[in-house]
Amino acid sequence: MSQANLDQTEAPSLIIQNIRQDFITLDGTELNVLDNINLGFREREFISFIGHSGCGKSTLLRIIAGLQTPTQGSILYKGKKIKGTSAARGMVFQQDAVFPWLTVRKNIEFGLKLKKLPRDKVRAQAEKWIALVGLGGWEDAYPKELSGGMRKRVDLARVYANTPDLMLMDEPFGALDQQTKSNMQTQLLRLWETAGSTVIFVTHDLEEAVFLSDRIVVLAPRPGRVKTIMDVSLSRPRREELRLSEEFLAEKRKLHELLKEDA
Amino acid sequence: MPASKVSVEADGVSDTTPDRPMSPAEVMRFRRIERLVIGTVSLGTLVLAYSVVSNLPGTNPALLPPPQAILATAMAKFSDGTLLTAVWASLSRILIGYTIGTALAILIGSLMGWFRYVEYVFDPIVECMRPVPPLAYIPLIILWIGIGEESRILVLVITSFVVCIVPTFSGMKQVPKVYVEAARTLGASEATIFYKVAIPFAVPFIFAGMRVGMAASWATLVAAELVAAQSGLGYMLQAGRRFFDTSLVMVGIFCIGVLAFIMDRIFRTIQVRMSRWEEVSK
Ligand SMILES: Nc1ncnc2c1ncn2[C@@H]1O[C@H](COP(=O)(O)OP(=O)(O)OP(=O)(O)O)[C@@H](O)[C@H]1O
Ligand SMILES: [Mg+2]
């Protein structure tokens, strides 16, 4: 089973090996949140995690980011075992994580400055990403002056400007309205096509998962484990019109069936 | 004449068939003018009433000196330098004591809020000091180091330290975990997170503490100078009482008020500027 999860055609660059996560709850009992997770992802792949609320998606993402040490198992990235966080593994959090005390520009420059790049290079990179996420003219605004969708774009630009090889995105568009959300999805695909990173994207939204992903990992709850993996057979580049096509609906139906088997 | 214009605009606010509704900016401006006018009238009335009462034939000028007498005292004390010497004596004590106390509070408070073990070490000490009014330390300090300049400054150090450390500590404690983790995944080291995430987040708290600390320091200083000093505004008040110079006492009170007000305004301006990013209503 675990072998079947691994992609056969190309050596996986990210290997999730036998992950188990237990938490101690407030009343002192042990809670098994993730059990026996084995996955392998290719480089530049766009992967989605989908599954019920509380099935451990965020926990798994935090483990991959290095923010959380699993009870058991390990993550291999390009052959090396992950220990702690790294700028090479960027994370867009479920919550609003844009620093409110920094302007849009300073937020986006945050990671770049840490890399000790020369000043003009930092500036140029930040400018580039501000333009790419469509925030030109807002460089010197504070986050409180932006809408939720704009803040999320700052967040994306901040992580992208850091050019991570691996992007971990935890329901980044969960709180947005349908219109903004589909704009952001299209934008994300465009950014991903240019940036060339591997993306792991957590979502509850079937359409979002189908529209964005190469493969969708369906998780089952209590304890969280891999139920099945669905290949999305839709060609790229994917554009807005695709959402209304027959093939798109067929893929969406397939995913829906896979999720229903759960209940 | 201006009064009639004001009343027309007032009708515009109290939506009784306005000709033209006021824009929010106009309403704000109008409210500000209203506040200023009423406030001036209110304060003016008080001064006028005092002036009338103090100038009545039956009033004892030694207890209620008329405004012109107070002004004369102020002028005299200003031109012979007594006033400025007193102001400078008080200000320099504040400057030294407050700066040391606040710097210590920011240093220890931020480390306490960030590092568990620093908190464990200092929290009991701070919690023990906090409920004691700093003035209560004065007798002890006098016993230990006498009534020199050091003892007055030490009381100010204690006052500003105790007042400022609490909000600094609590600001550092409230840094949301998601900012810390975001910084970490962007490649920040623990030291970078401390001074580029935690400290900036806590700045509005720290400045709020500094502002309250300044007000508290003034209060403590004046009290300390009343008890034990040969110079300063508090001493001037005490001297006025001793020589039954009520005018001088009033001049002293006025000076203390004005200085405290100016300092608070300066701090407020800085505070607003440093907290511009926050969700504060403008
Ligand atoms: N630090 C922790 N301590 C104890 N329990 C935790 C901790 N973090 C997560 N959990 C528990 O682990 C389970 C999975 O949480 P997680 O946030 O990973 O779910 P999720 O799949 O991301 O859910 P959602 O879709 O609602 O975001 C939940 O039952 C949660 O209560
Ligand atoms: Mg989650």
Residue-wise pLDDT for B147-179, tens only, equals 888 888 999 999 999 999 999 999 999 999 999
Question: Which chain A residues are within 8 Å of B279, Cβ to Cβ?
Answer: 100, 144
**CB of B199 closer than 8 Å to CB of B110:** yes
Strands A166-170 and A198-203: what pairing?
parallel
Residue spans of the domains in chain B: they are: 21-56, 65-281
- Domain-located, residue A129: no
Indicate if the pLDDT at residue B59 is higher than 50: yes
Task: Please name the residues in contact with B143: beta carbons below 8 A apart, sequence gap of 6 or more.
Answer: none
Asked if the Cβ–Cβ distance from B187 to A96 is below 8 Å, we say no
- Domain-located, residue A27: yes
- Domain-located, residue A64: yes
- Domain-located, residue A102: no
pTM equals 0.83
Number of A to B CB contacts under 8 A, please give it: 64
User: Is A142 close to ligand 1, i.e. is its CB under 6 Å away?
Assistant: no
- Domain-located, residue A62: yes
Which tokens sit at A149? 């969708």
C-alpha distance from residue A64 to each of A67, A91, B81 (Å): 8, 10, 72
Asked if the Cβ–Cβ distance from B178 to A90 is below 8 Å, we say no
Strands A46-50 and A198-203: what pairing?
parallel
Sign of CA dihedral B92, B95, B97, B100: negative
State which residues form the domain around A245.
1-88+167-173+200-263
Percent of chain A at pLDDT exceeding 90: 23
Q: Give chain A's domain count.
A: 1
Asked if the Cβ–Cβ distance from A142 to B277 is below 8 Å, we say yes
- Domain-located, residue A205: yes
Which residue's structure tokens are 């959090």?
Answer: A93
The closest alpha carbon to A206, from A259, A262, A263, belongs to: A259
CATH code linked to domain B65-281: 1.10.3720.10
Q: For chain A, which residues score pLDDT lower than 70?
A: 1-11, 262-263
Which pLDDT score is estimated for B178?
94
DSSP string, A76-123: EETTEE--S--TTEEEE-SS--S-TTS-HHHHHHHHHHHTT--HHHHH
Choose the mutation target among B177, B179, B180, B185 for the interface with A, i.e. most A CBs under 10 Å. B185
A214 CA to centre of ligand 1 in angstroms:
26
Which pLDDT score is estimated for B84?
92
Asked if the Cβ–Cβ distance from A144 to B278 is below 8 Å, we say yes
- Domain-located, residue A192: no
pLDDT digits (tens, 9 = 90+) for A184-232: 888 888 888 887 889 999 998 888 999 999 999 998 888 888 888 888 8
For all residues of chain B together, what is the average pLDDT? 88
**CB of A17 closer than 8 Å to CB of A75:** yes
- The total number of residues written for chain B in this structure: 282
- Domain-located, residue A74: yes
**CB of B224 closer than 8 Å to CB of B218:** no
* ipTM attached to this prediction: 0.87
Cis peptide before A237 (omega within 30 of 0): yes
Which of A:89-108 have CB within 8 Å of B?
89-91, 93, 95-97, 99-102
